[in-house]
Amino acid sequence: MKKTCLTVFASLFAITAASLAQGPRGPFNQSSPNHAASVLNMAKVQTVTGTISAVNLAYGMQYPSITVNKSVIKVAPVWYFLDKSFEVKAGDPVSVSAAPSTLPNDSYLYAIEITNTKSAAKIVLRDSSGIPLWTGSAGGRGNPDAARNGSGCVDPATITTATGTVEKLSLGAGIQMPTLVLKAKGKLISLKIGPERILLEADFELKEGEQVTVKYAHATCDDEDVALQLTNAAGATVVLRNDDGTPNWN
């Protein structure tokens, strides 16, 4: 694997993927009596509305959390947010449905559903019993209700290919996809890329100042341009999204 400007996310991905096995339910184990149970108190579900003041990324075997109106709310593994194309960052206005844990020394709230009140994008994290959807223990239903930013809402008439140099790479803060600013024919084009892991898995390197060809389009659901495909100067190509905007990483 090449050492790239995105290498920092390899460690983050490894950390957050490990968090798949942890949470308020304890270790995920098919034979465990906790496998089909939740320890969230679903009778005390509450709604927390406000602006995200902090996004706290996980260390070790812990969940990331967000702070809304001074309430610290544990959410889900980073990879789950990115697979659902749902971004979370400080300053976002949100409405969070959350429930407390029944465990004696756990004072956190746990998010069940998060809605960005500005864009109306929504992600469902746990089912009606409080069981995380990312563990597969919710009957394999996945997350059919999650709105996907930049996914499946591309206007086909806007699909364009441009070749230029990478002016800027933004890895972002919080749980976000990186962005690329392409300088092509004197014009700056800002594009959302996709989960950094898809670039790492393809051994695809991006560096400021290097040439890249980008196939991109305008996503109508969140009013931004998204990259569909990247090709570097060596001819290597990585496909990020299909032509209708649906992600190629799920």
Span 68-97, pLDDT tens digits: 999 999 998 888 888 788 889 999 999 999
The structure's pTM equals 0.62
Q: Which of 114, 129, 134 is nearest to 73 (CA)?
A: 114
**Which structure tokens are listed for 115?**
């809605």
Question: What is the rounded CA–CA span in Å between residue 18 and residue 54?
Answer: 22
Task: Give residue 58's pLDDT band: very low, low, confident or very high (50, 70, 90).
Answer: low
Q: What domains lie within the chain, and their CATH numbers?
A: 8-31+38-135 (2.40.50), 156-239 (2.40.50.140)
Query: Residues with Cβ < 8 Å from 70, sequence gap 6 or more?
Result: 53
Question: What is the rounded CA–CA span in Å between residue 250 and residue 246?
Answer: 9
- State what percent of residues in the chain have pLDDT above 70: 75
**230 bridge partner residues:** 214, 238
